[in-house]
Chains A and B, each alone.
Chain A
């Protein structure tokens, strides 16, 4: 082989590498062009109003944006402590022969197709949510001032809370797997030093291990958020698919951006309707971009704060 081949090889791999950003740009550009009629027609009201009326051609997507953010928040709030607890157990406490099987089962959750989650959710989870969990929440937390607002209304089971719970289960494997990897990568000397100083296990984990692993854990949460944003099928099946006014309760049927696109794209037969739906896609892309940017910033900041030599 000669130097000439090297040059062709370089050109070839450069072209292949460029393919990805080009595809992304192409997608963004096409979405933007298709969303243009809606962007110019509705302007800012598209993002601030909740009326979505294909009959009278009035489109406001605030409820979709709200639904996506709320279900994702619920998912992260539920899944993060579970994932963190599980990974601390697996790395710090579990006997070696249990570690493997338990991690394997958790990671197995990631391989379940989302439609299967959806079916399980609609036939098993929703009835339990409606009959047991939601009334219980209403009876306890629902009585508190301010927080109680989150649990007001008639529990139907097909609502934002159910959407969030399904998402929580779906992002659990990625959160756990990443947290576990990160905790495993914390040098044993960190713990040993702490324990050598007479610290309890709790102190060792909370003062030495977790601060060390924080950037990696935040990174895992971000990947979970990214998955939750785009997740469509399972959420659509339980979230209620109704874009009414934003009430602040988790017990009302809601709508996410991804569900709105999936539900309505096929039959959007007029130009403005079609364009309004494409604008939802544009919004989804934009929100995903913003969230990822914030997350990267968080990771970078926590790396700067980390104890010397921490795992990224």
Chain B
């Protein structure tokens, strides 16, 4: 995700420059100039849905966290600034860094690709909520000489390959599902992410769900002790290594595979169907998904995982990415600004998802997000009405 981080940084800078260029209006916050021309001028300017500038909310925010949603958060920040004048600085430093910044209170909100652990939740004084914002998926990509067909993988085969129990491409566990393809008697080289990454988090979370062996021997985390293979940095590194190494298989973000026109395999989902990975089948992973109570966090994290979804049309290696917002914030202006931004992102902001390669949240998940955003308080009283 290195290139993307750079990209996000550039965007953030250009957003700042743009914001500074148009600043004269926001520096003189006279209520008349802020509300004129807005169609919803009669409604509460600080309420939801967000339609205009709210003079009582904080006019600048900082956020830090995951690199995966970096491009869309940057887009949101830009659009949201045009709508409300609020300046938000989002730093895509990685999920771990985001959690740290949020816990240390050096950022107003955090962002993470993986649900926080009990210890991380406990460390955040004042408590927090994890609000799902957009969805993404991870796909297996491979390079086998003279094989151009889309390969089908059973969960068992995929786990076996990365565990190292399946070592040849013509292993019956792979070949039986791909009878129309002639697979070579060739050693498999697995390629994984060398940098800690939410992509690895999702992929290993999936493998842990479908393979007891994987769960006990390796487990799920943003960086794990890989049983074999080579590590490369970022989606680009993994894709590059796979492209160059005959007989290799790796995993990359779906967006990356689509943007770079990489071929990728299909994985049998929990319903036993082979569904192609797409933005639609990614959204399907959370469709009909019974969201846990986002207000209760500890011990509930696994319920936020949507890998191996029961939905028959779902891509099985899908995930949410979360915004971390404080449960209670004494600074009401800040709370207002954070919540309104999160609200706008999970509603109007969803319209930018597909262009940027993200899957939008299904309505049931947006509902859960609404509930949790509404329950945030400032000094004991609810902020959003």
Contact = CB atoms under 8 A, between A and B. Distances in A.
B221 interface: yes
A285 interface: no
Interface string A251-274: 001010001001110111110000
Interface string B221-241: 111111011111100010011
Given A267-B94, A267-B223, A269-B99, A55 B194 contact: no
B230 A242 contact: yes
A270 B223 CA distance: 12
A236 B196 contact: no
A267 B96 contact: yes
B196 A266 contact: yes
A8 to B, nearest CB: 39
Interface string B177-201: 0000000000101000011110000
A139 interface: no
Given A54-B223, A237-B233, A157 B194 contact: no
A52 B244 contact: no
Nearest to A265: B196
A61 to B, nearest CB: 13
Contacts of A264: 195-196, 223
Q: Is the interface of B mostly helix, strand, loop or mixed?
A: loop
A122 interface: yes
Interface in A20-61: 51-56, 58
Given A158-B245, A266-B93, A266-B195, A51 B225 contact: yes
B82 interface: no
Instruction: Output the residue of A130, A242, A266 with the most chain B CB within 10 A.
Output: A266
A157 B243 CA distance: 13
Contacts of A253: 229-231
A221 B240 CA distance: 33
Given A267-B95, A269-B120, A242 B226 contact: yes
A156 B195 CA distance: 20
Interface residues of B, number: 35
Interface in A187-225: none
A55 B218 contact: yes
A127 interface: yes
Contact of A268 (B96, B225, B237): B96
Interface string A125-141: 01100100000000000
A240 interface: yes
A247 interface: no
Given A54-B224, A55-B221, A270-B119, A241 B100 contact: no
B230 A55 contact: no
Contacts of B119: 270
Instruction: Output the residue of A52, A55, A244 with the most chain B CB within 10 A.
Output: A55
Given A157-B245, A263-B195, A263-B196, A236 B187 contact: no
B97 interface: yes
A154 interface: yes
Contacts of B240: 122-123
B220 to A, nearest CB: 7
B228 A158 contact: no
Nearest to B1: A266
B245 A55 contact: no
B136 interface: no
Interface in B151-197: 187, 189, 194-197
B219 interface: yes
B95 A157 contact: no
Contacts of B223: 54, 263-264, 267
A51 B189 CA distance: 20
Contacts of B195: 262-264, 266-267
13 contacts: A51-B225, A55-B219, A55-B225, A158-B230, A236-B194, A237-B237, A240-B230, A241-B194, A242-B229, A242-B231, A263-B233, A267-B96, A267-B197
Given A53-B225, A267-B195, 13 more contacts: A122-B240, A130-B245, A154-B189, A158-B232, A236-B194, A236-B233, A240-B230, A240-B231, A241-B194, A241-B231, A241-B233, A242-B231, A268-B96
